[in-house]
Chain A
């Protein structure tokens, strides 16, 4: 009974773990932007049957980390990972909704948990990098001997280490997110006016951080054109709706 109630569905846990490994592999190999929060959150929630919640989570995390430094060696919060965990936790808790509760009831909890565990992905990658750095002497000996197979083995080992670590940390955090919710079930993270005010406030700050990169005296016209164009589209849409 304890296991059934406090732990997630093993199939979902397996899917989330594999997806986490694949996101990490994308980040350290082909870098096809699958590790962007928008994609990780949507795919995770789609796997667990609720893509709407995923896109919403992805948009929110994308906003907050628009200028994220994407170096894989950093020891810093990882937006893609945080979005994936937030999305997976809130989407899997949807099954526990009581009648009359909204789909977004568990969302704030998922987001808070995602933000809290975000640095773990950066830290785990740093651990792998430190581990690989410790084996540099072996690599140098292989180069001195011209042993190409040993050089290839070192690189393949690095790829596998990153992938497995990514999968392990994602699975662990998803499990922990699910478990912690059931332990502290009595604490109600329902969206309240404080959160509803703070989120757009920080969204504004996040957009401003990108604006500082793009917006200068010679590009202010582009900013105005963008804002006016979007406002016009919205006004036309409303007019057509009336």
Chain B
């Protein structure tokens, strides 16, 4: 088989990408994203097997099961599994490889997805959004609209580029995806995100205290600007020290203690 024949057409990988976006909408407790995963593979399976309905059914049966990768990693997984299925159909590879690859993606791409997106990129962009919001909420309406657009662009440009790229990357790697994925410089990626995030936490902390001081002033509680600074700093220190030890009960106790202390003080 020549290299050219192994290329996936633009329409095919675009459809794989587009369908992979809807996996979350059919999430179930038993299969997680498994239902959407099968649905996302339908156009590819039909293109691969043409009129051979048995081939399509076998592929869907093979891929029907638990799938729990992080949603933002689904395009990467679908590219690689599509390639593995392609090898099953065209090069008579062992069908269990394609099934095993899905199971690997389900486990590894969940844990790494949490680290990269849930605890990394997403809070980083939300912090950026917070900073933009704090800058513009007292500006003109046009500025506010621009700020919201800027925030959405900051998140969506890198994310959509990543999703589109990852379908192609997954297809290129196929069954070699686990090996290639583990060679990613995870330490450097996560370190860069943490470094940027720490810088933004510094900016957000100063801005929040400043802007809250303004709100306090606007409401007419004169002299309370300093109070906003002090309480924000106390909250930050308390949170930083106590958070690892906090559970719901201790948080409630803390809340009650703060309210009682405030009621007594004021």
A binding-site residues for B, Cβ under 8 Å: 28-34, 36, 38-39, 42-43, 46, 51-52, 55-56, 58-59, 62-63, 66-67, 69-70, 72-73, 102, 104, 129-130, 132-133, 136, 139-140, 143-146, 148, 151-152, 154-155, 158-159, 162, 191, 193-194, 196-216, 218-220, 222-231, 234
A63 to B155, CA, bound (A): 17
Provided the pairs A155-B39, A200-B212 are in contact, do residues A219 and B238 lie with their beta carbons within 8 angstroms?
no
B binding-site residues for A, Cβ under 8 Å: 21-22, 24-32, 35-36, 38-39, 42, 46, 53-54, 56-57, 60-61, 64, 71-72, 118-120, 122-127, 129-130, 133-134, 136-138, 141, 144-145, 147-148, 151-152, 155-156, 191, 193-212, 215-216, 218-219, 221, 224, 227-229, 231-240, 243-244, 258-259, 262-263, 266
A136 to B61, CA, bound (A): 14
A229 to B203, CA, bound (A): 7
Report A200 CB to chain B, min CB distance, Å: 4
A194 to B259, CA, bound (A): 8
- Shortest 7 CB-CB contacts between residues of A and residues of B: A204-B235, A226-B202, A208-B239, A146-B57, A214-B197, A227-B202, A205-B239
Set of chain A residues within 8 Å of B197, measured between Cβ atoms: 210, 213-215, 219
Best-surrounded residue of B56, B205, B244 (most CB of chain A within 10 A): B205
Residue of A nearest to B19 (CB): A155
A43 to B147, CA, bound (A): 12
Is there an interface contact between A52 and B235, defined as CB atoms closer than 8 Å? no
The DSSP consensus for interface residues of chain A is helix
Is there an interface contact between A227 and B203, defined as CB atoms closer than 8 Å? yes
Partner of B203, one of A151, A220, A226: A226
Is there an interface contact between A213 and B25, defined as CB atoms closer than 8 Å? no
Is there an interface contact between B235 and A200, defined as CB atoms closer than 8 Å? yes
Residue of B nearest to A56 (CB): B137
Set of chain B residues within 8 Å of A67, measured between Cβ atoms: 119, 123
A205 to B27, CA, bound (A): 33
Is there an interface contact between B28 and A132, defined as CB atoms closer than 8 Å? yes
Best-surrounded residue of A36, A58, A210, A222 (most CB of chain B within 10 A): A210
Report B228 CB to chain A, min CB distance, Å: 5
Is there an interface contact between B198 and A62, defined as CB atoms closer than 8 Å? no
Is there an interface contact between B118 and A162, defined as CB atoms closer than 8 Å? no
Report B118 CB to chain A, min CB distance, Å: 7
Provided the pairs A29-B22, A200-B212 are in contact, do residues A148 and B206 lie with their beta carbons within 8 angstroms?
no
Residue of B nearest to A159 (CB): B25
Residue of B nearest to A34 (CB): B152
Partner of A230, one of B191, B207, B216: B207
Partner of A104, one of B35, B56, B212, B218: B218
Set of chain A residues within 8 Å of B208, measured between Cβ atoms: 63, 200, 203-204, 207
Is there an interface contact between B236 and A205, defined as CB atoms closer than 8 Å? yes
Residue of A nearest to B125 (CB): A33
Residue of B nearest to A219 (CB): B198
A213 to B120, CA, bound (A): 8
